[in-house]
């Protein structure tokens, strides 16, 4: 017999830890819908995220290197898939809800601007007198308002728990009944681990892209970055001398394995010490429970500083991004002066959200290549 939602929920009840978020205990959706037959509510959310237009656009948005710089360099989409995989692994080890953790991970960058974090900073500057811009808030806005696929509601109508994970800052959402719940100190453990998995993927795989591009050097990493040196020694003990490509691959894999083991062990200790017995116990706990160990946190800070000095600020990375950022600013200002140049859906939102927010939403949704195409189009026109 096919496995239906009731059996999937029963499996969650049987196998998940008491402090995991069970799909049967979801606070629900803003707009009531009939429950899915063959999926849990969080599995439905995952599928809605994957089928969204915003998710598809991630393929052509910058991670570190401007999109199109190289065939093997990561994009915002490949980064997202890697975060989702790491999130599932950590959730499984801790007996948390894998589907919820994966869904939050898959949705966490839906609102990201083109041109990576520099694009985010520029949009925030352009919107400083109009509410600012921050990609986590924008991801929430995408799933609540901007996606337009369903006839009876705006957005994707995701569950409260997924939206909580995207907010990241203890936002108090309205419940299905319309009453306001009090602000929590923390999000679910699934949301916390998806947030940390983002960091695990980000720095580990940026090392990989930096080496692949030739901007980082293994010998310098051995001398200056403890995370790399520990992993490289472990690989050498296990495999001896390897060809360069295999050596780099296994070293990156070892780094991720070490990070995941550290997070699982540290988090398990924190959860036991806190004595939480339910998902809401986690939310009302004063401090986050998903962490690196203190030693690993310091080592990761060392890695982060190294990447900023040697990769993110490297002219090969920074100069193309800076040119694209100037394009973003010029396109934004042109839309403000000439709103008729916006897409039809964006123009319709001006009456609802105001001109600046409508322009911001439109520009934030762009892929790198579409932004560049729009710049060429707009600045090839004589605008009156």
Residue 330 has pLDDT above 50, yes or no: yes
Output 272-281 pairs: Cβ under 8 A, ≥24 positions apart: 276/19, 277/18, 277/19, 278/18, 278/19, 279/19, 279/20, 279/21, 279/22, 279/25, 279/188, 279/189, 281/19
More confident residue, 316 or 299: 299
- The confidence score (pLDDT) of residue 69 equals 56
Q: Does residue 282 belong to any structural domain of this protein? A: yes
63: tokens are: 């991670």
Confidence of residue 384 (pLDDT cuts 50, 70, 90): very low
Residue 319 pLDDT > 80: yes
In the chain, % of residues over pLDDT 90: 80
User: Predicted confidence band at 269 (pLDDT cuts at 50, 70, 90)?
Assistant: very high
| Domain housing 189 | 5-378
The pLDDT of residue 75: 87
Residue 102 is predicted with a pLDDT of 98
Q: What per-residue confidence (pLDDT) applies to 27?
A: 95
Q: Is residue 146 over pLDDT 70?
A: yes
Structure confidence at residue 212 (pLDDT):
87
Region of 155 (left: φ > 0; alpha: ψ -120 to 50; beta: rest) is left
Does residue 384 lie in a domain region?
no
Flag whether pLDDT at 70 surpasses 70: no
Contact in structure between 77 and 61 (CB atoms under 8 Å): yes
Whole-number Å distance between alpha carbons of 162 and 105: 9
Residue 14: per-residue pLDDT: 96
For range 162-175, the mean pLDDT: 69
Give the pLDDT score at 170: 46
Tell me what pLDDT residue 351 has: 93
pLDDT at residue 30 tops 90: yes
β-strand partners of 313: none
Lowest mean pLDDT among 137-151, 166-180, 213-227, 273-287: 166-180
Is 203 within a domain?
Answer: yes
Specify the pTM.
0.93
Q: 100: which residues sit within 8 A by CB, 6+ positions away?
A: 21, 23, 42, 91, 161, 162, 165, 188, 190, 191
> Among 35-49, 159-173, 222-236, which stretch is predicted with the lowest mean pLDDT?
159-173
Question: With 50 as the cut, is the pLDDT of residue 177 above it?
Answer: no
Residue at 311 is within a domain: yes
Cα three-residue angle 93-284-189, rounded to 5 degrees: 20
Report the pLDDT value the prediction gives residue 18, as an integer from 0 to 100.
Answer: 97
Does any domain span residue 204? yes
pLDDT average, residue stretch 61-78: 71
Query: Predicted confidence band at 175 (pLDDT cuts at 50, 70, 90)?
Result: very low
Assign residue 320 the CATH number of its domain: 1.10.3210.10
Q: What are the tens digits of pLDDT across the range 345-381?
A: 999 999 999 999 999 999 999 999 999 999 999 997 5
Is there a contact between 153 and 32 (Cβ–Cβ < 8 Å)? Answer: no
251-259 CB contacts, 8 Å cutoff, 24+ apart: 252/204, 252/205, 252/207, 252/208, 255/204, 255/207, 255/227, 255/228, 255/231, 256/86, 256/200, 256/201, 256/204, 258/227, 258/230, 258/231, 258/234, 258/296, 259/200, 259/204, 259/292, 259/296, 259/300
Dihedral of CA 216/221/225/229: which sign? positive
Residue 10 has pLDDT above 90, yes or no: yes
Q: State how many domains the chain has.
A: 1
* Mean confidence (pLDDT) of the chain: 91
- What are the residues whose beta carbons fall under 8 Å from the beta carbon of 249, sequence distance 6 or more? 208
- Min mean pLDDT across 42-56, 204-218, 244-258 is at 204-218
Q: Kindly state whether residue 383 falls inside one of the protein's structural domains.
A: no
Mean pLDDT over 174-194 rounds to: 71
- Per-residue model confidence (pLDDT) at position 178: 44
* CB 157, CB 150: distance < 8 Å: yes
- Average pLDDT rounded to a whole number, residues 253-270: 96
Specify if 154 maps to a domain: yes
Percentage of residues in the chain with pLDDT exceeding 70?
A: 92
Residue 170 or 83, more confident: 83
Residue 152 lies inside a defined structural domain of this protein: yes
**Is residue 208 scored above 80 in pLDDT?**
yes
Tell me what pLDDT residue 234 has: 94
């Amino acid at each position: 017999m096919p496995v239906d939602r009731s059996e999937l929920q029963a499996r969650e009840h049987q196998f998940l830890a008491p402090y995991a978020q069970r799909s049967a205990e979801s606070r629900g959706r803003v707009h009531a819908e009939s429950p899915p037959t063959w999926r849990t509510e969080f599995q439905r959310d995952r599928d809605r995220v994957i089928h969204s237009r915003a998710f598809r656009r991630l393929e052509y948005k910058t991670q570190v290197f401007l999109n199109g710089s190289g065939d093997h360099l990561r994009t915002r989409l490949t980064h997202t898939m890697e975060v989702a995989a790491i999130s599932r692994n950590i959730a499984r080890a801790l007996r948390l809800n894998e589907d919820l953790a994966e869904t939050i991970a898959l949705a966490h960058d839906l609102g990201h601007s083109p041109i990576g974090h520099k694009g985010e900073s520029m949009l925030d500057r352009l919107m400083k007198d109009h509410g600012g811009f921050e990609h986590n808030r924008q991801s929430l806005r995408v799933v609540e308002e901007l996606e337009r696929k369903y006839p009876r509601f705006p957005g994707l109508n995701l569950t409260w728990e997924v939206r909580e994970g995207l907010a990241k800052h203890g936002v108090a959402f309205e419940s299905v009944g319309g009453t306001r719940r009090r602000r929590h100190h923390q999000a679910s453990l699934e949301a916390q681990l998806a947030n940390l998995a983002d960091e695990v993927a980000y720095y580990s795989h940026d090392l990989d892209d930096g080496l692949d591009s030739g901007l980082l050097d293994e010998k310098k990493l051995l001398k200056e970055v403890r995370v790399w040196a520990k992993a490289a020694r472990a690989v050498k003990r296990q495999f001896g001398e390897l060809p360069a490509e295999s050596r780099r691959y296994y070293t990156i894999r070892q780094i991720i394995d070490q990070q995941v083991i550290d997070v699982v062990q540290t988090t398990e200790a924190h959860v036991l010490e806190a004595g939480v017995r339910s998902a809401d116990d986690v939310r009302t706990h004063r401090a986050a429970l998903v962490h690196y160990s203190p030693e690993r946190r310091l080592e990761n800070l060392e890695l982060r500083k190294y990447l900023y000095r040697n990769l993110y600020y490297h002219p090969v990375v920074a100069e193309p991004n800076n040119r694209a950022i100037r394009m973003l600013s010029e396109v934004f200002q042109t839309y403000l002066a000439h709103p008729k140049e916006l897409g039809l859906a964006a123009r319709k939102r001006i009456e609802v959200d105001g001109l600046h927010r409508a322009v911001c939403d439109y520009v934030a949704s762009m892929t790198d290549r579409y932004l560049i195409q729009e710049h060429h189009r707009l600045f090839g026109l004589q605008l009156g």
